[in-house]
Amino acid sequence: MSGPARVAAFAVLLVAIFGGAALAGAAIGPSGTRGGDDAAGAHGGEHTPAAAGGKPASGDASAPPGLQVAQDGYRLVLEPTTLERAGREPVRFRIVTADGQALRDFEIEHEKRMHFIVARRDLRGFQHLHPTMRADGTWETGVNFAAGGTYRVFADFKAAGAKRTLGADVHVPGAFRPGTLPPPASSARTQDGLEVILDAQDARAGKEGRVEFRVRRDGRAVDAELQPYLGAKGHLVALREGDLAYLHTHPESDRLAFMAGYPTAGAYRLFVQFLYRDRVQTAAFTIEVAQ
């Protein structure tokens, strides 16, 4: 199946199954790393308890990506689920199958066998990481839990020919002051000062629409200078305000242009990532989807 067809099918599925929730979101503070490394930057789910072991559960097969710790016979077993302090800490997890064994047969999707997404529940921080798997099926990576709060983590992988995203919470002690979601804007800056312009969007509830971005440096267009990032021109993650429901799409062509389905009206936070001069750049936008 072609890239556009996969995105369209995924969007239709989301339109059919998304539900609402109520938790405030806020701005992020992205940072970037070199393209081959873990990329920390601005890249969802209800308050599902993180798994700490036990019998794998099937979960609700109709639930959207990231809202469940277990689905389709796979379970995310995460440790730790509560930290002693904020800061950069190692996180380990396994994907456990219905027979209680750690899954080790992952398929490569966009040049990686695991995409590990981290976002604090008020959307103030976002990281897109690529853990390393041990021989026993345990994945491990360092995560920057910069401040106190509850963080949502997503294990985004492909196995047995199908993509899945499982989610769980990590609780971090420390002062927490939630903010409000930034208002919609037509441009945003990356961590290195590149200007990203939301050039066009078609955001209507229950419809698949196009969203496109342009990139400028010091007023000069640099779209032609963007490098391939994980096998694509760029990546787009949308998180719905409230439950952080998770949608990950990729460009339809050699442009920062994406097709995305917004299942309900309301506010969404878009995180667009691309590679420029060997550094992953991230910009974040708030959009209001009309009924």
One pLDDT digit (tens) per residue for the chain, 291 residues: 544 444 444 343 444 434 433 333 333 333 333 333 333 333 333 333 333 333 334 667 666 677 889 999 999 999 999 999 999 999 999 999 999 999 999 999 989 999 999 989 988 888 999 999 999 999 999 999 999 999 999 999 999 999 999 999 999 999 888 878 899 999 999 999 999 999 878 888 878 888 999 999 999 999 999 999 988 999 988 888 888 888 788 787 788 999 887 878 888 899 999 999 999 999 999 999 888
Mention every residue, 6+ apart, whose C-beta is less than 8 A from residue 22. Answer: 242
Q: Could you say which of 144, 172, 200 is where a domain stops?
A: 172
Contact (CB, 8 A) for 60 and 71: yes
Contact (CB, 8 A) for 45 and 62: no
Give me the number of domains the chain comprises.
2
Please indicate, yes or no, if residue 142 is contained in any of the structural domains: yes
Q: Could you say which of 145, 172, 199 is where a domain stops?
A: 172
Please indicate, yes or no, if residue 277 is contained in any of the structural domains: yes
Please indicate, yes or no, if residue 204 is contained in any of the structural domains: yes
Residue 40's pLDDT is what?
33
CATH code, domain carrying 192: 2.60.40.10
Residue 24's pLDDT is what?
36
Residues 192 and 271 reside in one and the same domain:
yes
Residues 211 and 243 reside in one and the same domain:
yes
User: How does 97-120 read in b/e, with b if 16+ C-beta sit within 10 Å?
Assistant: beeeebbbebeebeebbbbbbbbb
Mention every residue, 6+ apart, whose C-beta is less than 8 A from residue 180. Answer: 24, 26
Residues 206 and 250 reside in one and the same domain:
yes
Residues 48 and 167 reside in one and the same domain:
yes
Task: Report DSSP state, residue 223.
Answer: G
Residues 199 and 164 reside in one and the same domain:
no
Residues 56 and 143 reside in one and the same domain:
yes
Residue 202's pLDDT is what?
84
Residues 154 and 200 reside in one and the same domain:
no
Residue type, 232: A
Please indicate, yes or no, if residue 158 is contained in any of the structural domains: yes
Residues 206 and 98 reside in one and the same domain:
no
Residue 205 structure tokens = 């509830």
Please indicate, yes or no, if residue 82 is contained in any of the structural domains: yes
Its domain, for residue 46, covers: 36-172
Residues 42 and 159 reside in one and the same domain:
yes
Residues 56 and 161 reside in one and the same domain:
yes
Residues 138 and 196 reside in one and the same domain:
no
